[in-house]
Amino acid sequence: MRHLLSAADLDRTQITEIFDLAEEMSLVQGRPVKKLPALRGRTVVNLFFEDSTRTRSSFEIAGKWLSADVINISAKGSSVSKGESLRDTVLTVAAMGVDALVIRHHASGAPWQASRWIDAHVLNAGDGTHEHPTQALLDAFTIRRHLRRSAPDLVSFDGQTVAIVGDITHSRVARSNVLLLTTLGAQVILVAPPTLLPPAMDTWPVRVCTDFDEVLPHADVVMMLRVQRERMSGGYFPTPREYTIGYGLTRPRLEAMKPGAAICHPGPMNRGLEISADAADAANSLILDQVAAGVSVRMSVLYELLGGAE
Amino acid sequence: MTDLLIRGADIIGHGRSDLLIRNGRFVDPADAGSDVDTLDADGLVALPGLVDLHTHLREPGREDAETVESGTLAAARGGFTAVLAMANTIPVTDTAEAAEHVAALGARDGHAQVVPVGAVSKGLDGVELAELGLMARSRAGVRVFSDDGRCVSDARLMRRALEYVRAFDGVIAQHAQDPQLAGGAACCHEGEISGKLGLPGWPAAAEAGVVARDVQIAELTRSRLHICHVSCAETVDVIMWAKQRDINVTAEVAPHHLMLTTSEVVGYDPTYKVNPPLRPNEHVEALREALADGTIDAVATDHAPHARHDKEHAFAEAAFGMLGLETALAVVMETMINSGLLNWTGLAKRMSIMPAHVARLADHGRPLAKGEPANVVLVDPAARAVVERDNSASLSRNNPWHGRDLPDPVVATIWAGRVTYQKGS
């Protein structure tokens, strides 16, 4: 694997490989000395054009536990206003001799552009409103672990229904999850008010529904998306109250879920808006498992990109 | 001045004839004296010099991206003998003095006639009218006014502008983009691809809606309205409706909208970021048909040079626009002539006669006949070449045609009797 830009870059075999390796990596987390020598001498730069404490920390820990040298570079703000082009920033960092660039950018597509300019491996850590493939990997990994409790050898998600609820239009998590979960065989249902659905949804491999209550009893996993603050004043829906009543995972909806169904949220949560505290902290909530899985999955991905014989 | 004899060109597809040029005008070829240069045009088609209603020359202000000299040299290489220089320079062409400055730069450095376009509103701010009348009365004789790059979105301002320019036979060239439906962030056509790429989209309704409003204002004010760079089928329908009602509206289409589609954007290459955006194929088809049947009157390049660093940002942050002057005729030949949608007469009408008419240019878009100004381009209908972006007179390299096999038609361009470009020399 040269780059990881999109969840669509991975087929079912590669995903399974990443997950199996992530299971092994997760064993490190339980050890007193959390260090593997796999990427010793390799340099990974987290090039973040947008703040993200949790994704950056997760990549940083993953790299360090694999013994890579990890450097964080924050290049916040528009390259236009700074006067340095994206290309210059990327070439400058790459010229330091890095092996992999983990790029987070507020504009969709930036990692694709970067991958054309440099030789280092590029890992997309979230680009604009486009994709966030490692988030989708850790979500699916968490779901796989959850499903394996009742079916230990499970590989594919055939027959599973995952509802993704919220601001689909602006969600990179939703886009990557749609691609990854459908590759794994799951049926994905996107649930949102029409104002938060992207155009031409008939071309996506999903079902779309504007009625959460219709979908809820059929979902094996309910993934709630964060409502960004700027959407609340953007006229996408009348009030936060109306949003919660229509699309929040409230206590009554928690009770209407299919027995055994799980709850996911990529974080950070707006408790009381898209998810109630009852749901966030419920026994069937996988939200903290997702965070824990993040490090192992990112270790696995970094190893896949950098660990091979080169 | 030595006479120039063009021997054996097919005159706009009507049959072969010689053309003799003396002192900037066509004269009877039988009058050729001994002091004559001869240009063998066997197998070539002679067209009236092309006129571009929509060029960004960037001077004054962004001479690193283009100058009047480099831009008009690109124009000459593309077969153009006149270009309308858009007003969004630094400073904006919104006064008589600014317009005269651009015209003077053209007179000094131009390889084609440079006709300044005046801004509709002061500073392109869309709030107050610029000094339209003074620009019209200036030595630049401005007749075309446009806030291009921005839409005159205020309906009242648009009404006043349309009414006001009627006094001097001016025309308002509207960049139709509803800023509420397609705001500053919108950077590609809203549809399947924008949804999947996570790019803020721009629906066709944001263009067609403004055009629908403006043709009604033009009907109300009995003024001349011109629609810049029509990019979608919905706009074509509105213009067709307006023309059926005898509303005084004309429209242009850019060459790139006749061939390139939204799918070019998939790799996030800002070379393909343009305003209005590339649309899906059904729009491309509708635009070709509208250009063929005359609903769209003219081809205009929207030649928009940008310094390389302004295109090397993330897609959403990179500058809008692409080069067009050198490749316009090639693209129109490929999409309209080679497909049988237009003949040479139809092409001459859309790339020379109608643009000259819209801009009220007396010396352009004229017949290739005795007594007329000698503005002519000689075209080889068979030549083809792979476009190489480094082989360009433009100072910029944002060329979406790089690497494509296209017609390579222009053999010579003659502006006011002067050879401004000759292939291979």
Q: What is the full DSSP assignment across B51-96?
A: EEEEE---TTT-TTT--HHHHHHHHHHTTEEEEEE-S-SSS-S-SH
Instruction: Name the DSSP letter for residue A226.
Output: P
pLDDT score recorded for residue B361: 98
Q: Is A182 on the interface with B (CB under 8 A)?
A: no
What is the average pLDDT score of chain A?
A: 94
Closest-CA residue to B50 (of B71, B75, B21, B20): B75
Q: Considering chain A, what percentage of its residues have pLDDT values greater than 90?
A: 86
Residues of A in contact with B195 (CB under 8 A): 169, 198-201, 203-204
CA distances A255 to A217, A260, B67, Å, are 10, 11, 69
Q: Which CATH architecture has domain B48-359?
A: Alpha-Beta Barrel (3.20)
Q: Nearest-5° angle of CA A191, CA A195, CA A198?
A: 70
Candidate CATH numbers 2.40.30.10, 1.10.3720.10, 2.30.40.10, 2.40.50.100; the one for domain B3-45+373-422: 2.30.40.10
Q: Which strand (E) or helix (H) includes residue B186?
A: none
- Please report which helix (H) or strand (E) contains residue B291, including its range: helix B281-293
Distance, CA of B37 to chain centre? 32
Whether the CB-CB separation of B20 and B4 falls below 8 Å is answered with yes
Tokens read off for A59: 């990549």
Which chain A residues are closer than 8 Å to B262 by Cβ? none
Q: Which residues of A touch B314 (CB under 8 A)?
A: 79, 86, 105-110, 113, 128
Strand duo B25-27 + B16-22: pairing:
antiparallel
Mean pLDDT, residues A156-161: 96
ipTM score of the complex? 0.92
State the catalytic residues of B: 302
With 60 as the cut, is the pLDDT of residue A310 above it? Answer: no
**Structure confidence by residue, pLDDT tens digits, A76-106:** 876 666 778 999 999 999 999 999 999 999 9
Please give the structure tokens belonging to residue B385: 């070449």
Contact assessment for residue B152 and residue B206, using Cβ atoms and an 8 Å cutoff: no
Report CB contact under 8 Å: B197, A130: yes
CA distance B159 to B142: 19
Give the pLDDT confidence score for residue A79 in this predicted structure: 67
**∠ CA A121-A125-A128, rounded to 5°:** 120
In 3D space, the residue among B351, B363, B366 whose CA is nearest the CA of residue B258 turns out to be B351
| DSSP H/E element including B127 | none
Does residue A23 register a pLDDT over 70?
yes
Distance CA B106, CA B416 (A): 14
Q: Is B194's Cβ below 8 Å from some Cβ in A?
A: yes
Tell me, yes or no, if B197 comes closer than 8 A to chain A by beta carbon: yes
> Which one of A108, A127, A182, A228 would you mutate to disrupt binding with B, by most B Cβ within 10 Å of its Cβ?
A108
Place of tokens 């060459």: B255
Dump strand ranges (E) for B171-236.
171-174, 188-189, 201-202, 224-227
Q: What is the pLDDT of residue A78?
A: 64
A172 to chain B: nearest residue by CA? B198
* Domains recognised in chain A with CATH numbers: 7-131+294-306 (3.40.50.1370), 133-290 (3.40.50.1370)
In A72-215, which ranges are continuous DSSP H helix?
Answer: 79-82, 86-94, 110-117, 133-148, 172-183, 212-215
- Calculate mean pLDDT across residues A126-146: 97
Q: Distance (Å) from the C-alpha of residue A28 to the closest C-alpha of chain B? A: 36
Q: Which is nearest to A65 in space by CA: A98, A87, A40?
A: A40
Does any CB of chain A come closer than 8 Å to the CB of residue B201? Answer: yes
Q: How far is A109 from chain B (nearest CA, A)?
A: 6
Q: Which of A80, A127, A131 lies closest to B313 in CB terms?
A: A80
Which residues of chain B carry a pLDDT beneath 70?
A: none
Strand, coil or helix: what is B132? helix
Cβ contacts (< 8 Å) between A127 and chain B: which residues?
A: 198
Per-domain residue ranges of chain B:
3-45+373-422, 48-359
Q: Count of CB atoms within 10 A of residue A239's CB? A: 9
Q: What is the pLDDT of residue A48?
A: 95
Q: Are B24 and B43 in contact (CB under 8 A)?
A: no
Two tokens at B368? 């290739």
Compute the nearest-CA separation of A36 from chain B (Å): 36
Strand pairing class (B376-379; B113-116): unpaired
Q: Which residue is associated with the tokens 């409003």?
A: B213
pLDDT at A233: 76
Tell me the count of A-B CB pairs closer than 8 A.
87
A 10 A CB-CB count for B405 gives: 11
Give the helix ranges, DSSP H, for B294-384: 328-332, 344-348, 354-359
Asked if the peptide bond before residue B276 counts as cis, ω within 30 degrees of 0, the response is yes
